């Protein structure tokens, strides 16, 4: 809707980049606050967050480039224009989790407790970031003529299809992630084993993503077969992995393997 937040002469601040940064800062603030309450060293949590941020941005951008190779072969310099959109969440997650595992091991942090600490932060940060997607027009929805809450993108700078009513798929995912955040926070009050919150987050998000993918209209996100996107396939695998780990840890009482 509003790809550019501020433009003063040569200075341009894109709404997408601003909201991604805002989502990260809110997520970090919540994680540090939780760390102080649970006795985990907050400075280590800050360091971990920044390492994961770097890995997440790299992974999410590489995943987007991989699924859009033909576009970037003709426009190689566009690889660096992340402020305009083009970050795939699953790519970031697949890079950030191994980075977190390495850091946690070297810093001697409790594994599942640390992942639990970050899970609600990931959800709220993602929810805010999807608002950035909505402003930039990336991750846009399918045509939705006659739908009362459909949206029409008109800005010449938008990444969405212009001039036709679309499902606000970015807002669907943002709202679902806000709900996911609230669920995780409520469950945390009655948490019974370490790892419960993180794997519940994976289960919840995989379901959210499968549903939202049904309303997406951007063909550039990549498909395994017609009608089944790469993200849908990853979501199915993530749901299975999250569910298995959830019940294993529940049975073992969330004992750390590290």
pLDDT in tens, 61-116: 787 777 666 666 666 666 666 655 566 777 788 889 899 999 999 999 999 999 99
Q: Tell me how many degrees the CA angle 77-81-82 measures, rounded to the nearest 5.
A: 140
- Does 97 fall in a domain? yes
Say whether pTM exceeds 0.75: yes
What mean pLDDT is predicted for residues 39-66? 88
Give the tokens for residue 8: 């003063």
- Does 201 fall in a domain? no
- Buried (b) or exposed (e) across 160-195, using 16+ Cβ within 10 A? bbeeebbbbbbbbbbebbbebbebbbebbeeeebbb
- Does 130 fall in a domain? yes
- Does 153 fall in a domain? yes
| Residue-range definition of the domain harbouring residue 74 | 4-188
Higher pLDDT, 253 or 209: 209
- Does 214 fall in a domain? no
Q: Tell me how many degrees the CA angle 90-50-108 measures, rounded to the nearest 5.
A: 100
- Does 171 fall in a domain? yes
- Does 216 fall in a domain? no
* Number of domains forming the structure of the chain: 1
């Amino acid at each position: 809707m509003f790809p550019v937040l501020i433009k003063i002469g040569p200075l341009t601040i894109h709404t997408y980049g601003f909201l991604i940064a805002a989502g990260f800062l809110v997520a970090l603030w919540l994680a540090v606050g939780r760390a102080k309450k649970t006795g985990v060293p907050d400075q280590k949590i800050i360091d971990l967050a920044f390492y994961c941020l770097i890995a997440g941005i790299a992974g999410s951008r590489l995943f987007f480039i991989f699924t859009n190779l033909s576009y970037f072969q003709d426009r190689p310099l566009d690889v660096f224009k992340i402020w305009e959109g083009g970050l795939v969440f699953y790519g970031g997650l697949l890079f950030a989790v191994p980075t977190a595992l390495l850091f946690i091991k070297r810093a001697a942090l409790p594994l599942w407790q640390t992942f639990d600490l970050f899970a609600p932060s990931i959800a709220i940060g993602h929810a805010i970031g999807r608002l950035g997607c909505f402003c930039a027009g990336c991750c846009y929805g399918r045509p939705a003529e006659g739908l009362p809450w459909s949206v029409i993108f008109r800005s010449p700078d938008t990444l969405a299809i212009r001039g036709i009513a679309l499902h606000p798929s970015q807002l669907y995912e943002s709202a679902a992630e806000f709900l996911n955040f609230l669920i995780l926070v409520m469950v945390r009050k009655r948490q019974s084993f370490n790892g419960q919150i993180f794997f519940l987050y994976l289960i919840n998000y995989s379901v959210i993503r499968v549903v939202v993918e049904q309303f997406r209209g951007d063909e550039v996100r990549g498909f395994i077969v017609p009608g089944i996107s790469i993200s849908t396939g990853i979501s199915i695998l993530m749901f299975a992995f999250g569910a298995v780990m959830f019940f294993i840890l529940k049975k073992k009482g969330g004992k750390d393997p590290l």
